[in-house]
A and B are shown apart, each in its own frame.
Chain A
């Protein structure tokens, strides 16, 4: 298992930099991670991040964009504004969760 240091904190990450130990996440770390993406976290971001954390804790899976959009009643377009270009990946990254999975 690889580790990296983010603003003085050592965390476990995969090859791309996604946290592999969700328990190592806290809000300070989220601020650091979002900083690396050039995103400043506002109220809407936090609503989404807390939903991602709670949903992952109960289902064991990183929720999809559709699940976030439907559950929080936030239009997909807004998710693209809050986490530009690759919202599913970026939301998972900042929330300290594995990136959403594919098949082959």
Chain B
């Protein structure tokens, strides 16, 4: 019996295990999935918990219940991948041999990596919403926060679901407005990037979202530490941002066993071929979803779209045929903007988010790069789609991004080529 071993039963691991189990001959292949616990979290729900738009109960289901019959589910913590001997060793000593290994262990927030984050103010005035525990603590903090300065802060890219901090900011603004407290709450968005939106078309069309709502943006902000005594963020270039309530997005890193196994880069992500997801320098190891280093968003939609390519390639790969399917980096995300509206973006490695209609070109019903109620309805309905279509691997969507129905606006930029950076940014 040949062994397909999947490390991680999150979005990517579950989709791939389910699809492979249906495709592979059950007399020849055993599909095994390992995870440290049996709680599958609907991670897009974390954003809504602080605003009481979803309850913790809505977010969690059993991991093994999402896996097809015939898939073996093992609970345990991975110690190391011994890739010289094609075996995975768990912390309890269990050894799991594999013919093919799929690393789907995701990425997690690491508040301990920025000094002062988990200090005396942690879960009191310093919060995060990328764990269920954090989202619940933040819900309670927001309930009692009536005035002062709210700072939403991203530590470093890449992060899981890169638009979530913006969504959080917009939802918080709408919430304070709804409570009649907006005049007493100052909102600051601090990002390590040069702007809240950095792709030209998105930036031109969406930049006003923050300005219109009087959200201050602090750009190129690289945090060095959080000063608990003085309640402020301190950056490497010594800019300080005081806060009354801080919502930080900690540094994200891949699983520690990836580093222990010598398979990771500086953030424990597995370097892979960006079109086939085969780990660089390895013939029996793939890394999927957030666990790899492909230059696109760390998001469930990427896990979903790339699984089509993965399944086709895997069947060729185990028969020794060349891999012919190529992942284009396709992703799309809803962006909640408050007031019952949302935006939608669709993009890939080479094409930035553009205006148009989705998923059916010209018809929609959803509209790209615009705030609409239909987009919000789409995001709300997505939880059902996630559990019932996406995880079982039965969501019927084309893998490759479509340009049909999209248009590239003519951005009027009067600047002379090659002049902005040294002129504007030059130091005194």
Q: Which of A8-16, A23-31, A45-53 is near enough to bind chain B? A: A8-16
Kindly supply a per-residue 1/0 record for chain B positions 77-121, scoring 1 wherever the CB is within 8 Å of any chain A CB and 0 otherwise: 000000000000000000000000000000000000000000000
Is A38 part of the contact surface with B, judged by Cβ < 8 Å? yes
Q: Measured between alpha carbons, how far is A77 from B113 in the docked complex, in Å?
A: 15
Q: Measured between alpha carbons, how far is A104 from B421 in the docked complex, in Å?
A: 20
Chain B residues with CB under 8 Å of A80's CB are 222, 236-237
Q: Measured between alpha carbons, how far is A14 from B418 in the docked complex, in Å?
A: 6
Is B265 part of the contact surface with A, judged by Cβ < 8 Å? yes
Q: Measured between alpha carbons, how far is A86 from B193 in the docked complex, in Å?
A: 10
Report the minimum CB–CB distance from B228 to chain A (whole Å). Answer: 20
Pair A104/B197 contact, Cβ less than 8 Å: yes
Pair B236/A89 contact, Cβ less than 8 Å: no
Is B353 part of the contact surface with A, judged by Cβ < 8 Å? yes
Interface residues of A in 26-82 (CB under 8 A from B): 33, 36-38, 59, 61, 64-67, 70-71, 76-77, 80
Pair A2/B162 contact, Cβ less than 8 Å: no
Pair A84/B417 contact, Cβ less than 8 Å: no
Is B365 part of the contact surface with A, judged by Cβ < 8 Å? no
**Interface band, chain A:** 20 to 34
Is B22 part of the contact surface with A, judged by Cβ < 8 Å? no
Chain A residues with CB under 8 Å of B222's CB are 65, 76, 80
> Considering only CB atoms, which chain B residue lies closest to A20 in the complex?
B418
Is B218 part of the contact surface with A, judged by Cβ < 8 Å? no
Report which of A13, A37, A86 forms a contact with B418, defined as CB distance below 8 A. A13
Known: A66-B266, A67-B266. A85 touches B415 (CB 8 A): no
Size of the chain B interface, CB-CB below 8 angstroms: 37
Known: A38-B426, A89-B194, A102-B157. A67 touches B265 (CB 8 A): yes
Known: A76-B236, A102-B193, A104-B198. A38 touches B427 (CB 8 A): yes
Report which of B194, B415, B422 forms a contact with A102, defined as CB distance below 8 A. B194
Q: Measured between alpha carbons, how far is A86 from B424 in the docked complex, in Å?
A: 12
Pair B353/A89 contact, Cβ less than 8 Å: no
Report the minimum CB–CB distance from B352 to chain A (whole Å). Answer: 8
Q: Measured between alpha carbons, how far is A3 from B224 in the docked complex, in Å?
A: 37
Kindly supply a per-residue 1/0 record for chain B positions 189-218, scoring 1 wherever the CB is within 8 Å of any chain A CB and 0 otherwise: 000011101110010001000000000000
Is B320 part of the contact surface with A, judged by Cβ < 8 Å? no
Known: A65-B222, A70-B266, A77-B236. A104 touches B163 (CB 8 A): yes
Pair A85/B419 contact, Cβ less than 8 Å: no
Main secondary structure of the interface of B (DSSP, over half): loop
Chain B residues with CB under 8 Å of A70's CB are 266
Q: Measured between alpha carbons, how far is A33 from B426 in the docked complex, in Å?
A: 11
Pair A104/B162 contact, Cβ less than 8 Å: yes
Is A17 part of the contact surface with B, judged by Cβ < 8 Å? yes
Q: Measured between alpha carbons, how far is A101 from B156 in the docked complex, in Å?
A: 12
Chain A residues with CB under 8 Å of B295's CB are 61, 101
Known: A66-B156, A104-B163. A13 touches B237 (CB 8 A): no
Pair A71/B266 contact, Cβ less than 8 Å: yes
Known: A36-B426, A85-B237, A104-B199. A16 touches B345 (CB 8 A): no
Q: Measured between alpha carbons, how far is A4 from B421 in the docked complex, in Å?
A: 13
> Considering only CB atoms, which chain A residue lies closest to B265 in the complex?
A67
Report the minimum CB–CB distance from A10 to chain B (whole Å). Answer: 11
Report the minimum CB–CB distance from B48 to chain A (whole Å). Answer: 20
Pair A103/B199 contact, Cβ less than 8 Å: yes
Report which of A2, A3, A67, A93 forms a contact with B421, defined as CB distance below 8 A. A93
Pair B236/A16 contact, Cβ less than 8 Å: no
Chain A residues with CB under 8 Å of B202's CB are 104
Pair B417/A13 contact, Cβ less than 8 Å: yes
Other A-B pairs beyond A16-B418, A16-B420, A84-B427, 10, CB < 8 Å: A13-B417, A36-B422, A76-B224, A76-B236, A80-B237, A89-B194, A101-B198, A103-B162, A104-B162, A104-B199
Chain A contact residues, CB within 8 Å of chain B: 2-4, 13-18, 33, 36-38, 59, 61, 64-67, 70-71, 76-77, 80, 84-86, 89-90, 93, 101-104
Which 4 residue pairs are nearest across A and B when measured between Cβ atoms? Answer: A2-B417, A102-B198, A4-B418, A13-B418
Query: 27 A-B pairs, CB-CB below 8 angstroms?
Result: A2-B417, A3-B418, A13-B418, A14-B418, A15-B418, A16-B418, A33-B422, A36-B422, A36-B426, A37-B422, A37-B425, A37-B427, A66-B266, A66-B267, A67-B266, A70-B266, A76-B236, A80-B236, A85-B220, A86-B425, A89-B421, A102-B193, A103-B162, A103-B163, A104-B163, A104-B197, A104-B202
